[in-house]
Amino acid sequence: MHEVVNPFDLQPIGSVPTADWETVDGYLAKAYALYRDRSQWKKPHERAAILHRAMEIMKERRDHLAFQVANEGGKPLVDARVEVDRAINGMELCIHEIGALKGTEIPMGLTAAGDGRTAWTTREPIGVVVAVSAFNHPLNLIVHQVAPAVATGCPVLVKPASDTPLSCFEFISILHEAGLEEDWARAVAPPRDASEKMVTDPRVAFFSFIGSAGVGWGLRSKLAPGARCALEHGGVAPVIVDATADLDKAVPSLTKGGFYHSGQVCVSVQRVFAHSSIVDDLAAGMTEAAKALKVGNAIHEDTECGPLIRPKEVDRVAEWIEEARSGGAQILCGGEKLSDTTYAPTVLLNPAPDATISRNEVFGPAVCIYSYDDVDAAIAQANSLDVAFQAAVFTNDLGGAMHAYRNLDASAVMVNDHTAFRTDWMPFAGLKTSGHGVGGIPYTMHEMTIEKMIVIKA
């Protein structure tokens, strides 16, 4: 059994069964056999009914699921409840999108060669899906990876993060309770070598990965020929705050975007480029807001920033901030470990552009503010890294907003909102080394199907 602990006090809270390669191989064999036997495929209304029943079970257990997210992942209860609500909504999105899984008519009379023929396409499940997930949204990420597979009719095996497997195993159990046979969806907790064998097995048609870039790109290079994949890694999200920005609105938004889940979000606000005329006011406002955040055990109602997922991550964040301090950055607040598992929300002013925290995803409670005079120079610095995901601009100038939108390297630019904004139906994609493919439930369901054409000669 694999033991799970609360990341704040490191006390055991549960366990999940481990699976060796022989077990995983058996699950893959059954999943592949289900896919190859078309008589076993579930009809759209059957898939929709299972997802609907599972959604209703989740609604009934909302409080329990939220507490579990907080308890195993360290996400404050107020945010954990939002995560569960999003997961429930994600189930509804999957049900709705089943009706959108349709093909198109292909015009055949455009040349003499095609004349006399009728053609159209339909969509079919791609095959066995294997998903590997991350710790920071232990229920909603699983819903994003598993529910689309169920909705499209793909058998699925999912490996949750080793720190946060309880929510995943419970979600799979809820699907079974809702009527999905066990061989259609399995949660597994294998060791690293068995995990890699599972991902790269030739029976796998689609690989869904959420986690670090090094692991994701490495696994992609080892996929079996023909396997498709979607990779979601992280970024070092940039924000432009120009001289016209409304700081009364920008400060709380940036504070939420930077310190939500203690910064352990792939599009968390990390680099804020503020015009020199307002940088001092913005920095003072964010410093005051960060100092006011309550740090503690995520299962407590008044906690606003929980622990980092592991003590070694606290040590890493501390090292990065000390390096920035030694390099000339001003530490406006925080800058210290509060315990072995928590770090104080930290605001840094003008760390060196080549500091580790300026160039790498911190995944911790730290926001860097940089002063600029030339917006194009700020955008160039924002674009200087090998990662690109979501970005933002705070401005009351439409021209400034459009200039930032056109010139920032990003798959999405938020105007007067923080970089971590997301709805579960919008496209969500990392560029450069930040990912491959497009997430978001409708887009994932599209990726998990193939378009198949029939051509009839009259």
Active-site annotation, residues: 232, 266
Q: Residue 145, Cα to own-chain centre: how many angstroms? A: 10
Q: Is 363 helix (H, G, I), strand (E, B) or coil?
A: coil
Longest dimension (CA), the chain: 78
Terminal-to-terminal C-alpha distance of the chain: 62
Q: Residue 252, Cα to own-chain centre: how many angstroms? A: 23
Please identify which residue in the block is written with the tokens 């439409």. Answer: 398
CB neighbourhood size of 3 (10 A): 9
User: Do residues 369 and 279 make contact, with C-beta atoms less than 8 angstroms apart?
Assistant: yes
CB under 8 Å to 263, separation ≥6 — which residues? 270, 362, 363, 364, 365, 366, 367
> Using CA atoms, how far apart are residues 179 and 49, in angstroms rounded to an integer?
9
Nearest to 393 by CA among 232, 237, 263, 233: 237
User: Do residues 441 and 146 make contact, with C-beta atoms less than 8 angstroms apart?
Assistant: no
Nearest to 249 by CA among 271, 291, 278: 278
User: Do residues 266 and 233 make contact, with C-beta atoms less than 8 angstroms apart?
Assistant: yes
What would the two tokens of residue 280 be? Answer: 């001092």
Hey, which bits of 307-359 come out as E strands? 330-333, 346-349
Nearest to 152 by CA among 228, 244, 72: 228
**CB under 8 Å, gap of 24 or more: what pairs does 81-87 form?**
83/137, 83/139, 83/140, 84/58, 84/139, 84/140, 86/140, 86/424, 87/58, 87/139, 87/140, 87/142, 87/143, 87/171
Nearest to 102 by CA among 48, 44, 59: 44
